Amino acid sequence: MAFNGSLIFCFSLNFQSKELKYFEHPTTFNGLIFGFHYESTIFSFIPNFMKNYLILISILFLFSCGSSTEKKADFSQMTFSLDTVMVDSKDEILYLNGNLMQSSLSQDLKYLYNFNQQEFSLEKISLDRLELERKIKVEKEGPNGIGGNFSKFYLLGSERFLVQGYSGFFILDSALKILEKLVYADFEEGSFPPSEYMMDLILLVSDPRIFYGFSVDWETKKHAFNKVDIEKITNTRFDLPEFDKLKKYQIELVLDGNPAGGVGPSLSISNSDNKVVLSNDTANEFYVLASNEPLLKYVKLESSLTPNRKKEYSINQVESIEALSELYKKSLEDINFSKPVWDNENRIFYRFSYFKRFLEKENEGDQPLDLPESNDEVYLTILDENLQIIGESKVPELKRAPTTHFVKDGKIWIFENIDDEMAFVRLSIDSK
């Protein structure tokens, strides 16, 4: 791009004007040279050899100042706005019971794939057109059957899918035909101990052969981080010593002297384009693995607005479901942390934290572990690429803690079930 007019005039009179696009783009270098020659009569009294130096110095000065005046988002003060969009189900019944916990986004963020547990099908939702595009039948039995019991459904690249079962993985094509089956027992000895169960998985676009996830040992309650190479059939395990402290927040239910379940902290995994982030809902902390680094990094944050860790329980064992329910509700009324979600457009993470504020009235027929309605206190933390805080604020516009959410077009899309229809509340952030 070149300018028709006086660059010297624009430079001297309105140096920081955002209207001057040539200050922002290196492609305007030739335009700047042209501009200086266009005005070269101003320098006619200077010897030729000095003109060249003056032009060069002026250009360097212009570029250095131009780069320093690029405006970066300042998240020290934020305002928020909401809008709600509905998804056209095309007269089909969409599966909303699990709050889209069994859903996966395409890499271009154009589609959301939601697994329908009742129909055993995959719902392909267009997020641009906000409509159901089609349902894809998933086979339980036969040569392409994946069985009736599996834990997670993931999208891999361009309409390939990974199904995580209790004994291994299935990789399916776009028609949900089995391409490959990997069984935990086929991995090298010690990769997956019998007492461990693999939880959430995720992958980085840069290397679709590698899956990252965490596992839990049902006997010791310890977690491990796993880096699974599906081509080499290997698993690299990482200990999580800082997360071992989470055992203090587990509550065990014992009925008639026998273990009968319980509640405790949950872990989540998320990613940017080159990092995998392991978080928990109890403390303001992460484990981070960059794609080009061999070791996990522990990151501990300090919020200026909320506590950074839940209070510890006075007891860790109860003998009735009612007692378990009361402790669980008290835990939710303390600080809770959602997993960070990545905004590729702005190169930042968003992380919600919240306090549940339950209303006194409970619905008739509620079971002990059913949660009453709440009016929650929600906060949003902005993190840079290295998971460091660059801004945080209360979000008074949100009255309920976000469920499944992701970032698209610079907005946070939060799933909402509105009269049994799929909807998204979109949170826009205005930084000063």
Q: Decide if 2 contacts 34 (C-beta within 8 A).
A: yes
For residue 155, what pLDDT is reported? 82
For residue 73, what pLDDT is reported? 72
The distance of Cα 96 from the centroid of its chain, to the nearest Å, equals 20
pLDDT digits (tens, 9 = 90+) for 358-415: 887 655 556 665 677 788 999 999 999 999 999 999 999 999 999 999 999 999 999 9
Low-confidence ranges of the chain (pLDDT < 70): 1-72, 158, 361-370, 432
For residue 42, what pLDDT is reported? 35
190 domain residue, yes or no? no
Strands (E), 14-141: 78-86, 103-105, 111-116, 121-126, 131-137
Comparing C-alpha atoms, which of 58, 2, 59 is closest to residue 31? 2
For residue 16, what pLDDT is reported? 35
In what helix (H) or strand (E) does residue 54 lie, and over which residues does it extend? helix 48-68
Q: Tokens 């509640």 map to which residue? A: 263
Tally of residues, the chain? 432
For residue 372, what pLDDT is reported? 72
Residue 125: count other Cβ atoms within 10 Å of its Cβ. 23
Q: Tokens 């997020």 map to which residue? A: 127
In order, the DSSP letters of 210-236 are EEEEEEEETTT--EEEEEEETTTTEEE
- For residue 82, what are the β-bridge partners? 427
Phi, psi of 327 (to 5 degrees): -65, -35
For residue 23, what pLDDT is reported? 32
Q: What one-letter code names the amino acid at 147?
A: G
Report the alpha-carbon distance of residue 402 to residue 145 in Å, rounded: 34
Report the alpha-carbon distance of residue 344 to residue 409 in Å, rounded: 9
Whole-structure pTM value: 0.80
For residue 364, what pLDDT is reported? 59
40 domain residue, yes or no? yes
Three-state secondary-structure class, residue 372 = coil
45 domain residue, yes or no? yes
Q: Tokens 């990789």 map to which residue? A: 171
Report the alpha-carbon distance of residue 155 to residue 104 in Å, rounded: 6
Report the alpha-carbon distance of residue 342 to residue 272 in Å, rounded: 6
Comparing C-alpha atoms, which of 50, 73, 63, 78 is closest to residue 23? 63
| Number of domains comprising the chain | 1
162 domain residue, yes or no? no
Range of the domain at 38: 7-68
Which residues lie closer than 8 Å to 302 by C-beta, 6 or more apart? 284, 308, 389
For residue 14, what pLDDT is reported? 35
For residue 72, what pLDDT is reported? 64
Which residues lie closer than 8 Å to 85 by C-beta, 6 or more apart? 130, 423, 424, 426
